[in-house]
Amino acid sequence: MLFAPAVLSVLLITASAQEQECHLAKWLRALYIKFFSEYKERHPVPIGHQYLKWNKTMSDQAFQEAEVRGSVVKGHDETYIVLQHKKAFWKKDRLSVKEKVRKTLESHEFIQQAEYARIQRLGDNANFGCNGHGEEKDDKEYMNIVCFFEKFWGFPELGPGQ
């Protein structure tokens, strides 16, 4: 008889954790979308994307790549424009996940990647997905962010090099 309440407790805890993951994904997704929307507004170009579309599959793949580098992207990737950066934070600062993600995205090292400027030239409705993975080591916490952007130029006459 004691076994049934224990099983029920485990099921409730598992369901609660899954709900929290879904809630986390919604606000995290909103953070990534907001960041790249604001980037577009700060760096307007006469041609290029007006909108990026969030893609859950690409976000899931970005999580896999953030967790284990090379698990999705093997060498030069022909499918995606890939942005990736790992930033260290002091544990004593006690930053939230949201703050660590935002600071990683806004970091000079993330924005100055050679591939970063290429997202300006993407066509309307290009798919993208971002995700991150955090880890702790000694007195630091690390946030590894990966973003995948579909190589969709939207204009047949314009390719990635033009």
The pLDDT averaged over each successive group of 10 residues in the chain (162 residues) is: 39 34 64 77 52 88 90 77 91 91 88 76 83 92 92 58 46
CB contact at 8 A, 146 and 65:
yes
Q: Which two tokens stand for residue 23?
A: 């809630």
* Residue-level pLDDT at 11: 31
> Which amino acid would we find at residue 58?
M
* Residue-level pLDDT at 130: 92
H or E element at residue 145: strand 140-150
CATH fold for domain 3-150 = Pathogenesis-related Protein p14a (3.40.33)
* Residue-level pLDDT at 15: 33
Pairwise CA distance, residues 107 & 128, whole Å: 20
Q: What is the pTM of this model?
A: 0.72
Q: Which two tokens stand for residue 28?
A: 């995290």
* Residue-level pLDDT at 139: 92
* Residue-level pLDDT at 143: 93
Pairwise CA distance, residues 91 & 142, whole Å: 9
* Residue-level pLDDT at 8: 31
Kindly give, in sequence order, each residue whose CB lies less than 8 Å from that of residue 157, ignoring residues fewer than 6 positions away. none
* Residue-level pLDDT at 27: 81
